[in-house]
Structure 1
Amino acid sequence: MLAHLSLKQFAVVTAAELSFGPGLTVISGETGAGKSLLVDALGLLSGLRADSGVVRHGADRAELVADFTLDDAPLATAWLAENELDETGDGDAPICQIRRVIRADGGSRAWVNGRPVTLSQLGELASRLVEIHGQHEHQALLTRASQLDLLDAYGRHEAAREPVAAAARAWSALLRERDGLVAQGDVSDRIGWLEHQHAELEREALEPEAIAKLNADHRRHAHAAGLIAACEGAFARIGGDEGPSLTRTLQQVRGDLQRVAEHEPRLAEVDAMLDNAAIQVDEALSLLDRVRDDLDLDPAEFERIEARLGRMHELARKHRVAPEQLAATRDGVGAELEQLRGAGERLDALDAEIGAARKRWRQAADALGRARRDAADSLSARTTELIGELGMGGGRFAVEIEPQEDDRPDPNGAERVEFMVAANPGQPPRPLRKVASGGELSRISLAIEVAAFGLDAVPTMVFDEVDTGIGGAVAEIVGQKLRALGGSRQVLCVTHLAQVAAQGHAHYRVAKAASEGVTQSAVQVLASKQREEELARMLGGVELTKEVRAAARRLLADVG
């Protein structure tokens, strides 16, 4: 839901801050005051192209900011998460802020939750937050995709659409797999080359543990002479071959201390330490002896290890990986080899699987198509009835369903939808996107939305001049329908009729004034008395008589 809209240096508005709540909010003002600027601002925040003409004269840039709460916008919430643009506000309530700056030189930039986005991304997000019903370039319901979504929402086809989408995904995956295999062409040469590569890798022990042991063996053999000399020298010095034995010296020291230990208790602790040292020395001598026995000056073994290590590094260079990654490379070559060897068999199996997947999709799509045709008849009849109530007597609305021209795994089903309208009796139905009158288009959109109970997933709907060309009882009906739609969706409506404005849950007035020769517009939320005055102005023009004010009070009283 749109919670707040901020405009700065935009057209004739110097600065305006508007807060919105649920239900129907109406916006009124004198002709030329700029009441449709709010709709234009939302259009620019929805990704429409902008030029320097929207920047207020004398300013270097215009800035537009809209804050949305996302409790009622699951599609927008999912899009924000998918594009890593999601944010939270106080109490972790999901929020979304859209900001756009248009410079006087015609350039512009856009941000979502403080992060820069493209106009294409802005349009994708805004289409999940707000629908603008008015001029053609704003119309959400003019696209066939939106019309199909609305029909499915009206018919509550969520359960029927999911099997179609799942079957289409499975069918598409199988087609991609087959295309990939076919694109490989004759793979016999590739198989031969991979077999050679795999056999070469298989001849060596390539696990990281084996490579680590080979490196350790190489270091040990490369330094065998030095290791032998060091072990023998240490054994001689510790064991007593070159001077007094370290073990014997420790025993002598212990004996000397034990004879006087009774006079100093702490010497018993020293004796225990020396005893442990003697044990450690004996164990060190034993380990030195074993290490020396394991060492051997064997030039032939050293050459064999060097040759293996050389082959290992050569393989690593050949495959452009570290030696420790050769095992993974070998496994990858083996996996590709097995896949290619079974490519022919897999192609045969894929043909059967694709046929079965297509059949499953067709069955699910046919069931969805039947449900859509039933919903189309109901929506057509209900909308035609509402069009008559909204001052377009004799007009007809129909949902035209056509089969897709090509046989492909479409997740949306097997048919296309077009909303068709005959605005006047005797006229043939034409696509909704070709309806010329902006007022008629807005009223038809209102009829469709009311007929569909506001079931589409977009939480905010904007109607611009929906009451153009009507008056009297029809205007009151339009207002009632807008208010009814406000029971399930947030609705904003720019209007010049008091009968429509009286139905609003909230009311803004846009007024213009000249200051130092420059026209400026200001936006004001109306309290009860101010609202009565505005309705009287809309009813009576320049002279506000007692009768006009009484009529304004009656309009408000009738709404309750």
Structure 2
Amino acid sequence: MLTRLGIRDVVLIDRLDLEVAPGLSVLTGETGAGKSILLDALGLALGARADSSLIRHGAGPAIVTAEFDLPDGHPGWALLREQGIEAEDGQLILRRTLGMDGRGRASVNDQSVSVGFLRSLGASLVEIQGQFDQHALMDPANHRAILDQFGGLLDSLGGVRAAYRLWQAARDARQAAEAALDRARSQEEYLRHVVAELKQLAPEPGEESELADRRARLQNRAKLLSTLQSALSDLAGESGAEARLLAASRTLSRAPGADPAIDTVLAALERASTELAEATDGLEALLRADGWSEGELERIEDRLFALRAAARKHQVTAEALPGLAEKLASDLAALDAGEDRLKHLIAEERQTRAAYLEAATALSAFRQEAAGRLAAAVTAELVPLKLDKARIEVQVEPQAEGFWGPEGRDKVAFLIATNPGAAPGPLAKVASGGELSRFLLALKVVLAGTSPVPTLVFDEVDSGIGGAVAAAVGDRLKRLGDHLQVLVITHSPQVAALGGQHWRVQKRAGGAEGRVTTTIDTLSRDERREEIARMLSGADITDEARAAAARLLG
């Protein structure tokens, strides 16, 4: 609740500090004294739009500080956590500064915030009745939540939200499966061709690297073998050294006459033939030991070409071909199994939709019952407020499936009719200002136990009424004060007498220049009697007025 309001240099207020008590507080004063300035200042602290006209003439920046005691579980805590703002012992300080250039600064617990955030936080702390375009009860978007709070339907609502999430998850899964299946079907022929092609190619992980290394080794070995083959040919071929040695020996053996020297040469040629035979055997042994296959290098190069061609075709690396083959085979298998999976997902979506519809239908029935109770309770409050011919309807209508959501399938609206036989319509369009204030007061009284906003401000809710109606209004405001903090600007002595705290607004002229300022004083019991007597009799306060004021105060 609001615990303190500090105002500096706002319109006619120079300096003001108000300590605000729980329950019902009333603010009185003559017309034009400046009661609305208090609301303007409070609205500034709560994030309302502002301009430099609010700054007191000749003064510096206008500053408004509103301090709150925030209870556990209040919605404002979630807003504070989002901004990383801490509140020690639940204390919350909202401050707004406004300069002559129209620029200002907003802060919460001395941490700068945007005016938009201040407005959101302020709306959870204080509701000012009179600014109808901002009033939660006036906005149909809030009516469903208000009805659920009144009816105690939050558990049922939680079940609907959970069922809705499951339904939407099943729907999303079905849609994703349909999209995947459609994509797969559009490429099915190509997919089957590629899978068959890659299956025939059968690429292995790391195969390209292995083949490239093997080819490099074989290319080097080929050069060595070529050298060995050439050397063997030089030794053992038709024109090789072996044949020439044999020819030389045959020629010399036919030489005429006996010559020891020729025998020596023939012996040398025989030894050479023996050494040459050993060399030839050695070369042949090297060739046999290598295991060289003349076609192996060609086969390896053909395989490398096939792998790299497939990689270029599918725009991947050769190393990625096994993974691609596996993925495409999986896609093809998914296509083959996709129909069955889609049927399963469609069945699951139907089941979750049916579960959501069952929960939402039950919630609708609960809302219909709560709507009847709410309308009856508000109607009972209207009679003493002299709105006995008026009626309120809490309309709960099922919507088309396109509008179903986590809150259920209902559209909820509060409608009123002020005259018998008249068609009910929206609150803001049907009721006059005075009627609307009393309607909203009746609604607030009925909803007091469920309101998340701890502080209510009523701006002349008793305008244009008196006597028993004013007393009825005051009684309801006091009852509201039993549940919430209520601040009322009033011209009604019956309402003023019921306040637990009473402030009086006055204009005073002072100083050499006779400058006018607005002051707000907290009244004692005797001062309250005089103020209520003034409200009863006017400027000339009579003894009868004082006696009547005393009776009202009790």
- TM value normalised by structure 2: 0.69
1:275 aligned residue: none
CA contact (8 A) 1:171 1:409 kept: no
| Aligned equivalent of 1:539, options 523, 536, 539 | 536
Match of 1:402 in 2: 397
User: Residue 472 of structure 2 aligns with which residue?
Assistant: 477
**Deviation readout 1:277-324 (Å, 9 max, x if unpaired):** xxxxxxxxxxxxxxxxxxxxxxxxxxxxxxxxxxxxxxxxxx9xxxxx
- How far 1:422 sits from its partner (Å)? 1.9
Equivalent pair of 1:358/1:409 in contact (CA under 8 Å): no
TM alignment of 1:330-349, pairs within 5 A: 344=338, 347-349=342-344
Offset from partner CA, 1:39-88 (integer Å, 9 cap, x none)? 3333333333222222222334322221211216522223322x144423
SS of the aligned residue for 2:155 comes to helix
Q: Which residue identity lines up with residue 120 of structure 1 in the other structure?
A: G
Query: 2:178 & 2:102 partners in 1: Cα distance?
Result: 50
Change (3 A) 1:393 1:384: same
Aligned to 1:87: 86
Cα distance in structure 2, aligned partners of 1:508 and 1:423? 34
**Conserved 8 A contact 1:361-1:409:** no
Aligned ranges 1:166-185 → 2 under 5 Å: 166-178=162-174
Task: Please give the alpha-carbon distance, in whole angstroms, between the structure 1 residues aligned to 2:171 and 2:59.
Answer: 56
Match of 1:373 in 2: 368
* Residue equivalent to 1:147: 143
- Contact 2:11-2:54 at 8 Å conserved across structures: yes
- Letter of the 2:69 partner, please give it: T
Q: Is the 8 A contact 2:6 2:18 kept in 1?
A: yes
Query: How far apart, CA to CA, are the structure 1 residues paired with 2:514 and 2:328?
Result: 78
1:176-255 → structure 2 map (5 Å cutoff): 176-178=172-174, 186=183
Q: 1:355 and 1:475, CA in 2 relative to 1: closer, same or farther beyond 3 A?
A: same
Distance 1:408 1:183, change over 3 A: farther
Partner of 2:277: none
1:338-379 deviation per Cα after TM superposition (whole angstroms, max 9, x unaligned): 899759466544333322222121111111111111111111
Match of 1:18 in 2: 18
Q: In 2, Cα distance between the equivalents of 1:378 and 1:102? A: 46
Cα distance per residue 1:121-155 (max 9 Å; x no partner): 22332232222222312312111232222211221
Instruction: Find the aligned partners of 2:30 and 2:113 in 1 and give their Cα distance.
Output: 36
Give the 3 Å change call, closer, same or farther, for CA 416–532 of structure 1 in structure 2: same
* Deviation, structure 1 residue 496: 0.9
Deviation at 1:522, TM superposition (A): 1.3
Kindly indicate whether the alpha-carbon contact (under 8 Å) linking 1:513 and 1:520 is maintained by their aligned counterparts in 2: yes
> Structure 1 residue 520: deviation in Å?
1.8
- Tell me the alpha carbon deviations over residues 403-449 of structure 1, each in whole angstroms, 9 at most, x when there is no partner: 22443551211111111112344433221132453332221111012
Q: How does 1:492-511 map to 2 (within 5 A)?
A: 492-511=487-506
Q: Secondary structure at the match of 1:186?
A: helix
Q: What's the counterpart of residue 112 of structure 1?
A: 108
Change over 3 Å in CA distance of 1:436–1:136 after alignment to 2: farther
Name the structure 1 match of 2:235: none
Higher gyration radius (CA): 2
3-state SS of 1:49 partner: coil
* Partner residue in 1 for 2:30: 30
Separation (CA, whole Å) in 1 of partners of 2:330 and 2:535: 80
2:349 to 354, 357, 378: 354
Q: CA deviation at 1:547?
A: 1.1
Which segments of 5 or more consecutive residues in structure 1 lack a partner in the other structure?
Answer: 205-318, 320-329
Q: Is the 8 A contact 1:10 1:55 kept in 2?
A: yes
Partner of 2:433: 438
Matching residue's letter, 1:13: I
Q: Partners in 2 of 1:378 and 1:526 — Cα distance?
A: 41
The alignment partner of 1:40 has SS state of helix
Q: Give how far 1:110 is off.
A: 2.2
Q: Report if the CA contact (8 A) 2:126-2:456 is conserved.
A: yes
Task: Return closer, same or farther for 1:179/1:56 CA change in 2, 3 Å cut-off.
Answer: farther
Q: Name the CA shift for 1:336/1:532 in 2 (closer, same or farther; >3 Å).
A: farther
| Contact 2:87 2:109 (C-alpha < 8 Å) held by counterparts | no
- Cα distance between partner residues in 2 of 1:531 and 1:117: 40
Matched, 1:450 2:448: no
Q: 1:514 to 1:115 in 2, by over 3 A?
A: same
Q: 1:200 to 1:401 in 2, by over 3 A?
A: farther
- Tell me what 2:99 maps to: 103
403 and 29 in structure 1: CA distance in 2 versus 1, 3 angstrom threshold: same
Query: Would you say how many aligned residue pairs link Structure 1 and Structure 2?
Result: 426
Q: Does 1:463 align with 2:462?
A: no
The secondary structure found in structure 2 opposite 1:389 is coil
CA contact (8 A) 2:456 2:485 kept: yes
Cα displacement (A) at 1:542: 0.3
Following the alignment from structure 2 to structure 1, what is the Cα–Cα distance between the partners of residues 110 and 174? Answer: 44
Instruction: Give the superposition deviation at 1:544.
Output: 0.9
Match among 483, 490, 496 for residue 488 of structure 1: 483
Identity of aligned residues (%): 43
Q: Which residues in structure 2 correspond to 1:120-135 (within 5 Å)?
A: 120-135=116-131
Once the 2 structures are TM-superposed, how far is the Cα of residue 399 of structure 1 from its aligned partner? 0.8
Task: Provide Cα deviations, 1:465-489, integer angstroms capped at 9, x if missing partner.
Answer: 1101100111111101110111111
- Mapped partners of 1:545, 1:336: distance in 2: 100
**Change in CA separation of 1:34 and 1:3 when aligned onto 2, cut-off 3 Å:** same
Other-structure match for 1:549:
546
CA gap of 1:407–1:511, structure 2 versus 1, over 3 A, is: same
Question: Using the alignment, how far apart are the partners of 2:164 and 2:124 within structure 1?
Answer: 24
1:134, 1:438 within 8 Å by CA — same for their partners in 2?
Answer: no
1:66 & 1:376 partners in 2: Cα distance? 36
Question: Is the contact made by 2:10 and 2:54 (CA closer than 8 Å) also made in structure 1?
Answer: yes
- Name the SS for the 1:379 alignment partner: helix
Judge which range, 93-102 or 444-453, deviates more. Answer: 93-102
SS of 1:145's partner is: helix
Distance across 2 between alignment mates of 1:529 and 1:88: 39
RMSD: 3.4
Contact 1:537/1:544 (8 A) holds in 2: yes
Question: Compared with structure 1, are the counterparts of its residues 177 and 499 closer, same or farther at alpha carbon in structure 2 (3 Å cutoff)?
Answer: same
SS in 2 for 1:407: helix
For the Cα contact (< 8 Å) 2:418–2:431, is it kept in 1? Answer: no
For residues 380 and 52 of structure 2, what CA distance do their matches in structure 1 show? 44
Structure 2: distance between partners of 1:155 and 1:49 = 35
Gaps of 5+ in 2: 208-315, 317-321
Amino acid across the alignment from 1:95:
Q
C-alpha distance 168-547 of structure 1, shift in aligned 2 (>3 A):
same
Q: Alpha-carbon deviations, 1:383-406, whole Å to 9, x = none?
A: 122122112231111111222244
Contact (CA 8 Å) 2:23, 2:500: kept in 1 or not? yes
